[in-house]
Structure 1
Amino acid sequence: MGSTKTNPGNYFEDFKLGQVLNHATPRTITEGDVSLYTALYGGRFALQSADSFAIDCGLQAAPIDDLLVFHIVFGKTVPDVSLNAVANLGYADVRFLAPVYPGDSVQTTSEVIGLKENSNGKTGVVYVRSTGTNQLGEVVLDYVRWVMVRKKDVDAPAPETVLPDLPEVVDPANFQLPADLDFSNVDATLSGSPHFFDDYDVGEKIDHVDGMTIEEAEHMMATRLYQNTAKVHFNQHMMKDDRMGRRLIYGGHIISLARGLSFNGLGNAFFIGAINGGSHTAPTFAGDTIFAWSEVLDKADIPGRSDAGALRIRTLGVKNATCEDFPDKGEDGKRDPNVVLDLDYWVILPKATV
């Protein structure tokens, strides 16, 4: 008889409303992680690239990229939440609450806040709120995601349907910027962009111009970097029999590529204040080339800050098609099939005059 010491992951019927999952493997984030993340996505934001620039902005050192923190905190949840997932469906109320620096350690807990069995009786949707904390117990990241998970026993009774009440938009009044942050003298030459908060208009669209092709080794290396164990990203032996026939790219990989590409047009968007919502609207595979464009949805002052403001941005990731025509939904309401990411988020920029 075989051993039963391995973790098969949770199936839909294993989740219970209010259940708390304390995830394994805390992770110390190092400068090595930062270098590898830069090699994978090519991010050029000055605040995350140079201690000298960050110190001039009042910080102790260059902070870890917000999305690297997100992916590592997210990766902790996969063995317990989405090992048996069909798809990660969306995010909401993603709040970046404190900077993380090289040498900080993060760990994650999740609470099940919603359940809904699908009509086919074979899968269900699980909603979890996941919280990442540092070694001091400070919350650095808090977010909700929902994921479609297989049932192991199709005859297992359906739970009562509970859908969480989630905000459509995170209120900028709830942003928590570092107390010592000072954007009053940002050097636009060093930052690589002359465009500050004041220079953007609601409704403005930005083609980020550049494209980046995904290689098979890169997306698997990235997903391993986050200790994300989801089988669909790694196991070609399994995926050859899937309807896709090949490994799927982790959705967060596309988010990071789009964020990296957005530097060309949003170079002073140093922090992500929050992610309001996001959806992976089509799968991506190795060999696809990702482009991105953004639209400014809103502008907001940040209470107590005269040196920084927030832009609500919608960024679309597009595969194998340039974005000079801003591919989106057609007049019939159908989404352009090349659009693979639709992300609604707040970025924090310096103001030009304070």
Structure 2
Amino acid sequence: MGKTNPGRFFEDYEVGDVIRHAVPRTVAEGERALYHALYPARHALYSSDEFAAACGLEGSPLDDLMAFHVVFGKTVPDISLNAVANLGYAQGRWLKPVYPGDTLRAESQVIGLKQNSNGKSGVVWVQTRGFNQVGEIVLDYVRWVMVRKGDLDAPAPETVIPDLPAVVPASELVIPEGLSFEDYDFELAGAPHRWGDYEIGEKIDHVDGVTIEEAEHMLATRLWQNTAKVHFDATFREDGKRLIYGGHVISMARALSFNGLANAQMIVALNGGAHANPCFAGDTVRAWSEVLDRAETSVPGIGAIRLRLVAVKQGAEPFALKTEAGKYAPEVLLDLDYWALMPI
């Protein structure tokens, strides 16, 4: 007894706690191949060493969202093993590209707590940082999670709700060292559309759809070493269904967005996100985007485009988002707000 980990419950967190997550993970070309097999990922910078070298990088990085999933997966045993739901993201930035051979580790600091009125659960806010093998921060982000209480009689903590910005300012976006789109090959990238071709308020239907398979989402979630029970154990939910990891939907939607946003190459910030409704095996995921903003960066020729990426399932109306009552339409799976880099 006492040697297994039941996971932390809401009453086990204190504001200021720093949690170093097990286990460091060296990522390589195998992870890239699996990522590209699981999602229809085709952005050129992440597919070709030669294309990436022509853009000033040492080689093709691993996909930004792959790095996010690996770091996120590290946090699950300590943050969300007993979660009811992952509620949202904010203040995320990718600070360094991740290359094959890099070793990633993660740590999180508790920055907020609020017990729910039912006394059975509460919301935990954490800021998570992912580090490479030389201690550089490759990404950081805030997320908040609703977590069950293990002891219903445990006293409620003092409520602390962090003040989080709605958007990462364009001036705080980090452009990878050496990145240049001066010799960018639009033909090889797959589309001619530049930063200046997109207008604020423009909506893009990404056309394609992918049906989620049970085996594939479980393989993906195991790949990220995400141990949350709701994704694997069919007895854990009353309906007997395995919940699709929200990151699986994010990567699927991002990959689908290639058709219309092929030149939105690098994700550099995560402004916010909501998993609006659950996704299950058998659902067919489609995606659309809205251009929310554009900004120049500190590097000539590289523009930042702020995009809303929405994933929907079968039965959704065109560009479905919210009902007249202001709630997400039941077919909406994901509402993600991010900054990406694009040639001007």
Normalised TM-score (structure 1): 0.96
Letter of the 1:174 counterpart: E
**Hey, what does 2:305 align to over in structure 1?**
311
CA gap 1:121/1:300 in 2 versus in 1, 3 angstroms: same
Residues in 1 aligned to 2:147 and 2:253: alpha-carbon distance in whole angstroms: 27
Percentage identity across aligned positions? 61
Residues in 2 aligned to 1:64 and 1:313: alpha-carbon distance in whole angstroms: 21
Letter of the 1:123 counterpart: S
- Is this contact kept in 1: 2:294–2:303, CA < 8 A? yes
**Hey, what does 1:68 align to over in structure 2?**
66
**Hey, what does 2:42 align to over in structure 1?**
44
Normalised TM-score (structure 2): 0.98
Deviates more, 1:331-340 or 1:181-190: 331-340
Superposition deviation, residue 322 in structure 1: 5.8
Residues in 2 aligned to 1:212 and 1:178: alpha-carbon distance in whole angstroms: 32
- Is this contact kept in 1: 2:316–2:331, CA < 8 A? no
**Hey, what does 1:102 align to over in structure 2?**
100
The reply to whether residue 256 of structure 1 matches residue 251 of structure 2 is yes
Where has structure 1 moved over 3 Å in runs of 4 or more? Answer: none
Letter of the 1:193 counterpart: A
- Is this contact kept in 2: 1:291–1:321, CA < 8 A? no
**Hey, what does 1:333 align to over in structure 2?**
326
Q: Match of 2:122, SS?
A: strand
Letter of the 1:326 counterpart: F
Give the root-mean-square deviation of aligned CA atoms: 1.0
Letter of the 2:315 counterpart: A
- Is this contact kept in 2: 1:116–1:124, CA < 8 A? yes
Tell me the number of residue pairs that the alignment of Structure 1 and Structure 2 aligns: 344
**Hey, what does 1:8 align to over in structure 2?**
6
Residues in 1 aligned to 2:130 and 2:341: alpha-carbon distance in whole angstroms: 21
Q: Match of 1:62, SS?
A: coil
Superposed, which structure 2 residues align to 1:75-154 within 5 Å? Answer: 75-154=73-152
Q: Match of 1:80, SS?
A: helix
Q: Match of 2:235, SS?
A: helix
Q: Match of 2:273, SS?
A: strand
Q: Match of 2:321, SS?
A: coil
- Is this contact kept in 2: 1:291–1:322, CA < 8 A? no
Residues in 2 aligned to 1:77 and 1:301: alpha-carbon distance in whole angstroms: 34
Superposition deviation, residue 333 in structure 1: 2.5
CA deviations on 1:135-165 (whole Å, 9 max, x unpaired) are: 0100000000000000011010000000001
**Hey, what does 1:342 align to over in structure 2?**
335
5+ long unaligned stretches in structure 1 = none
Residues in 2 aligned to 1:214 and 1:77: alpha-carbon distance in whole angstroms: 25
CA deviations on 1:302-346 (whole Å, 9 max, x unpaired) are: 1x21111111101110011366x2112233423321001000111
**Hey, what does 1:301 align to over in structure 2?**
296
Residues in 2 aligned to 1:84 and 1:193: alpha-carbon distance in whole angstroms: 44
Superposition deviation, residue 4 in structure 1: 1.8
Superposition deviation, residue 192 in structure 1: 0.2
Residues in 2 aligned to 1:235 and 1:72: alpha-carbon distance in whole angstroms: 21
**Hey, what does 2:265 align to over in structure 1?**
270
Residues in 2 aligned to 1:103 and 1:8: alpha-carbon distance in whole angstroms: 32
Superposition deviation, residue 13 in structure 1: 0.2
CA deviations on 1:198-233 (whole Å, 9 max, x unpaired) are: 110001000000000000011110000000100000
- Is this contact kept in 1: 2:175–2:299, CA < 8 A? no
Out of 315, 319, 328, the residue aligned to residue 321 of structure 1 is: 315
- Is this contact kept in 1: 2:89–2:143, CA < 8 A? yes
The reply to whether residue 281 of structure 1 matches residue 269 of structure 2 is no
**Hey, what does 1:171 align to over in structure 2?**
169
- Is this contact kept in 2: 1:29–1:103, CA < 8 A? yes
**Hey, what does 2:156 align to over in structure 1?**
158
Residues in 2 aligned to 1:172 and 1:106: alpha-carbon distance in whole angstroms: 26
- Is this contact kept in 1: 2:123–2:144, CA < 8 A? yes
Letter of the 1:117 counterpart: Q
Residues in 2 aligned to 1:90 and 1:237: alpha-carbon distance in whole angstroms: 26
Letter of the 2:326 counterpart: G
- Is this contact kept in 2: 1:209–1:322, CA < 8 A? no
Letter of the 1:307 counterpart: G
5+ long unaligned stretches in structure 2 = none
Residues in 2 aligned to 1:331 and 1:91: alpha-carbon distance in whole angstroms: 25
Q: Match of 1:202, SS?
A: coil
Residues in 1 aligned to 2:325 and 2:13: alpha-carbon distance in whole angstroms: 39
